[in-house]
Structure 1
Amino acid sequence: MSAVWDYFTLKNEKDEQAECNTCHNKVKRGGKAVRHFNTTNLIKHLAKYHQKQHEAFLKKTEDKKRKGPTQPTLAETFAKRDKLPQNSAKAQGITRVIAEEIILDEEPLSLVSKVGFRRTIEHLEPRYNMPSRHYIVEKTIPQIHKDVKGYIAKQVESANALSFTTDISSCDHRPLSLLSLTAHWIGPDFTPKRAVLHAREFRGSHTANAITDAMQNMLCAWKIDKNKVHVILRDNAANMKKAMDQLGVPSLGCFAHLLQLVVHQGLLAQRAVSNAIANGRKIVTHFKYSPKAYSELEDVEEELNIEPKRLQQDVQTRWSSTKMMIDSLLHAKRALQAYASDSNSNLPATITGNQWSLLEKTATVLKPFQELTAEVSAASATAADVIPSVRVLTRFLDTESEAHQGIQTMKATLLDAVHRRFYHVEMEPLYAVATLLDPRYKDKFFPNATNLDQAKKALKAVVMKMEQELKKTMPPSGEVSEAEPARQTPGMEAESSTSSLGSYFDEILEESSTAVAGPSEQEIPPGALIQLESYLSKAPLGRKNNPFHYWRDNQARLPTLAATAAKFLCAPCTSVESERLFSAVSLIIDEHRSRLTPEHVEMITFVKKNLPIMLRLQPGQTVEIEGSVVMEMEQ
C-alpha cells in the first residue's frame, strides 16, 4: 500500500474523494469507477499545500523501496503452490506452444520428459504441470492440425485455379512410403502461394491404378473439383504419367529431372572426361577417409595462401554433386599438385595436366546447367521459364568456343540430349501459353514460327474463354486504370554479372526486339483480344522484374489477361517442392521418432509446413490463437 494513505482518510473504499488529514479538504482520486482510482492527485495535493508532509511521504517511499518487496500473504503463497488445471486456458496455451515448438524446431516428442526442458518450464511457470508425450501426440497435435487445416482449406477454396506437385518417397528409418500433394495458386494480390495438403502413407505396389485411386481420394478430401486443377507436376516415371492420364487431369514432367538426365548422359559420353572425373573421385575419397592426409593437405594450402575448403564427395546419380566436386578440386588444384609431388604422398590416383584442363572445361560447360537448375527450382519459378531456358541452353551449347576445345563430344551429346528431351516444349500449350503471359518473355523465345502461331492461337482461345467466365461473375468496368511499373522484389533474383547465360537471354531478345505498335495504354478498350494485342506489342520487361507484380499492377487495365496469367503462372516447372517436403519428413522420422504412426507423421508434416502460413508473423511479432500465445517466427 502506498505511504500517501498515512496522510489521507477514506470512509469507504468506493468513495471518489479522500479527506486530507492536515487540512480536511476533499481530494479527488482520479476517476468515477474504482478501477480508475489512483493516488496522483493526493500526492500533488501534499506537494502543493503541505510541503513538510510531502517530504515525509517521499522519505517513507524511499525506505520502502530499499527494504524490497513485502512478504506475500499466506493466501498468496498457497495460490502459487496450486497447479494449473490441465483444461485451463493458460495451461492449454502453454501446452500448445510446446507442441508447436516440437514441430517447428524438429524436436523429438520425448522433449517433454527431458530434465533440462522440464526445469526450464518449471522455472518460468511453477504452477504448470507438464503433460506426457502421449497427451501431446493424441490431444494437442490433432487440435493444432485441425486449426491449421481449417485455415488452409479456406485459402484453397478461394483460389480460382490450382496447380499441384506430387511425388512418392520412402523413409530411411522405417519401411514407409509416402505420397505427397502440394497445392500452388496465385492470391488476389498476385502473390504466389503454396500449401502442403498431404504426405499420406502409400501402401502396396506403386501401380498407376493405385496412384490414381490415392490422388482421387486426396482431391476429394479437400473437395477440389478436377475442373479446378490446372496441372499436376510429377516425376517422369511411366506409372506416374499413366496415373495422371487415368485421373483425367493435365500433367507435366519435372523439368529439373529432365535436366538431370541430360547432364548425366553428357558426362558419360566422352571417356577422357569420365576418366578425369573418376580420378578426382578417388582423390576426394582418399582425403575423406584419412584425417591425417587431409590435415597435411590443409598445411599445404596454408603455405600457398589458399583458402581451405572442404573437398566435396559426389553422388554419381546427382550430376550437381559431381559439378561441386569438380569445383572443389579446381579450387585446391595447386595444393593437390604440391601434395602429389611429395614422395611420401599416397594418393590412389593422379590427375594429369590434360585431365585438369578437361575438368576446367567441363566445369565451364556445366555451369549454365547448374544455374538453370537453381533458377527453375526456386519458389518463384513457373512453367513460363521452361521454353526460354531450353532456348538459351540450346544457344549456349550450339556456340563454338575455344574454351571448349577438347570436350566437343560431350557438348555435342548434351546438345543432342537437350533436343531429344525438350523438342516438345514449344508445342505443349501449358508451357507455351505460360511463356506468352510472362511479361519478361512474351513471344520472343519461340525459334519456330509455326509453334509460335499455334501458341498464340491457344492463348487467344484461353483468353476468350476466360472473358466469358468473367462476364458471368464480374460486372463490367467502365473505368480504365493507368498501369504502374513492375517492381523488383527479393523473391525475384536479378541477373548476376557473373551469370553465364544472361548474355544469351539479352541476345535473343535483341534479335526479336521489333514491336508492333498497338493501342496506347490509356486507350485500351476492355475487349480481351484488344488487351492481348496491346500486351504483346510492348517490349518485354527485364529478367530482374517480377512478373507477378506486373500483373498485380496491370490487372485493372488488362483484367482478362491478368486472370488468365493467374491461372497459368500458378504452375511451377519442377516437382522440387515435393522433394523439399520429403526432406522435412526425413527430419521428422528419425531414430528419435521412429515409432510415430503414419497418421501422426502426416499430421506433424502438415503442421510443420503450413503453420507458418497461418501465423503470418513478422520479426518480433506474436499472435494469439484461441487463447494460446504463438511464439515469434523467424523469417
Structure 2
Amino acid sequence: MTVTCHFIEDFQMTSYLLDCFVLTDRHTAVYLASELTRVTNEWGVSDKIVACVTDNASNIISALKDHLHWDHIPCFAHMLNLIVRAALKEVQAILQKVKTIVEYFHRSTVASDKLKATQKQMGQEPLRLKQDVATRWNSTYYMLKRFTEIKDPIISTLALTNASLPTLSPEEWKISREILDIIKPFEEVTTEVSAEKFVTASKVILMARGLQRIVARYQRNPSSFDPVKKLVDTLMSEMTRRFGKVEHIEKLADATCLDPRFKKQAFVNHQAAEETVKRITAAAAAINPAQSEEENTSDPGATASAGAMFWEDFDERVATLRLSASSSKTSDAMMEMRAYLAEPLLPRTSDPLAWWRRCSPVYKTLSEVTKTRLCIVATSVPSERIFSKTGQIISERRNRLSPSKVRELVFLNANMP
C-alpha cells in the first residue's frame, strides 16, 4: 500500500509520501482501515484529512466509508480507464490483430530490423512499435497510434517476411483511425488530470461534461462502420452511468466553485451549483478567528468573590454581543462569497493558487476553505507512480532486499528534493 498526502503551503501544491509498505494480511476493509489509521497517527494528521482518493475497489471504499468515515473520492483516471476499456471491447477483434502483429515484431529480431530498414527506405524515421498494458487503457491508444503511423512499412515488412499473421483489411485500417480520433480526448484528459503539482480536482466536473459533449457529437454524426457506432454508444452509456452525479460529489464541487477560472459556470445542474455555494459559505462562516488577547488573558483582579454581582450586567451584554458576532460571521461569509463570485473569471491557463495568494487578504475566510479543497488531487496516480518504483528497485539482481529496506529506499527517493 502506498499513502501520499497533498496540501497547500504558501498557496503552492505540496506532496509527500507518508508510507509505502507490504500488506501482510488479507486485504479486508478492517485491515486496510487499521493500516491507514496507523500511518495517519504516526504523522499526526488524522484530524486533518479532507478526503481520500482511491480506485474503486470495494475493500478500500468500505475501509474509508464504513470504518474510517472519511470522504471518499473515486480516482478519475481509474473511472476513465473503466469507461474506455468497456468501449474498446466493441472493437476487440481489430485490437487483437494489432496486438498479435506488435508482439510478433517484438519477439522477432529479424522482423524488427527489417521494419526499421523498410522505414528508412520509405524516408521515414525508424519508430518502434508499442505494446499495450492491461492496466492502462491509454497504452492501447499509444499502441494503435504508432501502428497507424507506420502503416505502409508494416504492410511491406509483413509481405517480405511471409509471416502467417492476421492482417488488417482496408476497412479495418479506416476503423483504426476513427477509433483514435474518438478516444484521443480521453487520453488528453487522463494525462492532464494525472498531475500532482497543479490543481486537478477542480477540473473533474468540466472534463467529465466535456467528454460527454464530444461523444454526443459523434452520436449525432455516426460513423459508417458498425463497430465504431457501438464503441461510441458504449462510451456514452458508461459515462452517463459513472458521471451522472459528478456535480454532487461535494468536495469536487467545492473545489470547482473555488477555482477562480471556473466558479459556478462549470456546473450544468443549477441546483448543484447553488448547493455548493451554500456549503462553502457555511464552511467559511464556521472558521473561528484567532481569539483576541482579551479572551485569552484573564484579569487577576476579576475574581468570582465579593465583586461577582457587579459584573452581571456587563457579562450579559457581552454574551449578547457574542451571539451577534456569530450572526455577523455568517453575513461576512456571504458577502465574501458574493464578492468572489462577482470577480471576472481567470483565463483557463492561469494558476488559481497564485490568484488566491494575491487575494487572500480580501477573502480571508474563503481562502482558508480553498486550502482544504484545491489541495485534493483528482486521481490516485501519485501513489501508483511511487508504488511502481518498488518494481524498479526490486529486480533479479536486487531480489534479496528486505521489505523494510525497500520501504526506506522508496521513502527517501520520493521525499528528498
- Which position in structure 2 is the counterpart of 1:337? 155
Residues of 1 paired with 2:15 and 2:275: CA distance?
31
**Cα 1:275/1:473, change in 2 over 3 Å:** farther
More helix by share: 2
Give yes or no for the alignment of 1:594 onto 2:416: no
Q: Which of 252, 261, 278 is the matching residue for 2:82?
A: 261
Partner amino acid, structure 1, of 2:99: R
Give yes or no for the alignment of 1:557 onto 2:376: no
**Cα 1:470/1:352, change in 2 over 3 Å:** farther
- Which position in structure 1 is the counterpart of 2:282? 461
- Which position in structure 1 is the counterpart of 2:184? 367
Cα displacement string for residues 31-74 of structure 1 (whole angstroms, at most 9, x for unaligned residues): xxxxxxxxxxxxxxxxxxxxxxxxxxxxxxxxxxxxxxxxxxxx
Residues of 1 paired with 2:88 and 2:291: CA distance?
55
Q: Percent identity?
A: 30
**Cα 1:609/1:473, change in 2 over 3 Å:** farther
**Cα 1:239/1:341, change in 2 over 3 Å:** same
Residues of 2 paired with 1:474 and 1:425: CA distance?
45
**Cα 1:333/1:214, change in 2 over 3 Å:** same
Partner amino acid, structure 1, of 2:186: F
Cα displacement string for residues 443-499 of structure 1 (whole angstroms, at most 9, x for unaligned residues): 112111222222222222222223xx2354899xxxxxxxxxxxxxxxxxxxxxxxx
Residues of 1 paired with 2:123 and 2:140: CA distance?
26
Cα displacement string for residues 266-315 of structure 1 (whole angstroms, at most 9, x for unaligned residues): 101x2xx2222111111111111111112222222112112211011112
- Which position in structure 2 is the counterpart of 1:10? none
Partner amino acid, structure 1, of 2:268: P
- Which position in structure 2 is the counterpart of 1:194? 15
Residue pairs, 1:135-174, within 5 angstroms: none
Q: Which of 155, 175, 184 is the matching residue for 2:6?
A: 184
Q: State the Cα distance separating 1:340 from its structure 2 match.
A: 4.2
SS in 2 for 1:434: helix
Q: Which of 243, 250, 255 is the matching residue for 1:422?
A: 243
Give yes or no for the alignment of 1:384 onto 2:202: yes
SS in 2 for 1:229: coil
Residue segments in structure 2 that go unaligned for 5+ positions in a row: 295-330
Residue pairs, 1:487-502, within 5 angstroms: none
Which deviates more, 299-308 or 189-198?
299-308
- Which position in structure 1 is the counterpart of 2:46? 225
Give yes or no for the alignment of 1:570 onto 2:375: yes
Give yes or no for the alignment of 1:433 onto 2:254: yes
Give yes or no for the alignment of 1:470 onto 2:289: yes
- Which position in structure 1 is the counterpart of 2:343? 538
Residues of 2 paired with 1:413 and 1:473: CA distance?
60
Give yes or no for the alignment of 1:238 onto 2:45: no
Q: State the Cα distance separating 1:341 from its structure 2 match.
A: 4.7
SS in 1 for 2:247: helix
Residue pairs, 1:82-161, within 5 angstroms: none
SS in 2 for 1:249: coil
**Cα 1:209/1:298, change in 2 over 3 Å:** same
**Cα 1:604/1:341, change in 2 over 3 Å:** closer
Partner amino acid, structure 1, of 2:364: P
Q: TM-score, normalised by structure 1?
A: 0.57
Partner amino acid, structure 2, of 1:374: T
Cα displacement string for residues 202-253 of structure 1 (whole angstroms, at most 9, x for unaligned residues): 2110000111111111111112233x11111112111101101211221212
- Which position in structure 2 is the counterpart of 1:528? 333
Bigger relative contact order (CA 8 A; separation at least 6): 2
Give yes or no for the alignment of 1:358 onto 2:179: no
SS in 2 for 1:399: helix
SS in 1 for 2:81: helix
SS in 2 for 1:443: helix
Residues of 2 paired with 1:207 and 1:303: CA distance?
58
Residues of 2 paired with 1:545 and 1:561: CA distance?
19
Residues of 1 paired with 2:253 and 2:293: CA distance?
27
Partner amino acid, structure 1, of 2:116: E
- Which position in structure 1 is the counterpart of 2:125? 307
- Which position in structure 2 is the counterpart of 1:324? 142
CA contact (8 A) 2:7 2:13 kept: yes
Point out 4+ residue stretches in structure 1 off by more than 4 angstroms. 401-405, 471-475
Residues of 2 paired with 1:206 and 1:304: CA distance?
54
Residues of 2 paired with 1:473 and 1:417: CA distance?
54
Q: Which of 393, 396, 412 is the matching residue for 2:211?
A: 393
- Which position in structure 2 is the counterpart of 1:617? none
Count of residues in Structure 1 that have an aligned counterpart in Structure 2: 376
| Larger-Rg structure | 1
Q: TM-score, normalised by structure 2?
A: 0.86
Cα displacement string for residues 545-601 of structure 1 (whole angstroms, at most 9, x for unaligned residues): 111111111111211111111110111011111111112222222233332332222
**Cα 1:252/1:258, change in 2 over 3 Å:** same
Residues of 2 paired with 1:278 and 1:225: CA distance?
47
Residues of 1 paired with 2:234 and 2:30: CA distance?
36
Residues of 2 paired with 1:392 and 1:599: CA distance?
45
- Which position in structure 1 is the counterpart of 2:100? 282
Residues of 2 paired with 1:395 and 1:281: CA distance?
30
- Which position in structure 2 is the counterpart of 1:56? none
CA RMSD of aligned residues (A): 2.0
CA contact (8 A) 2:280 2:369 kept: no
Cα displacement string for residues 304-363 of structure 1 (whole angstroms, at most 9, x for unaligned residues): 112211011112442111101101111101222333455x53241111111011100100
Q: Which of 207, 213, 232 is the matching residue for 2:28?
A: 207
Residues of 2 paired with 1:570 and 1:209: CA distance?
27
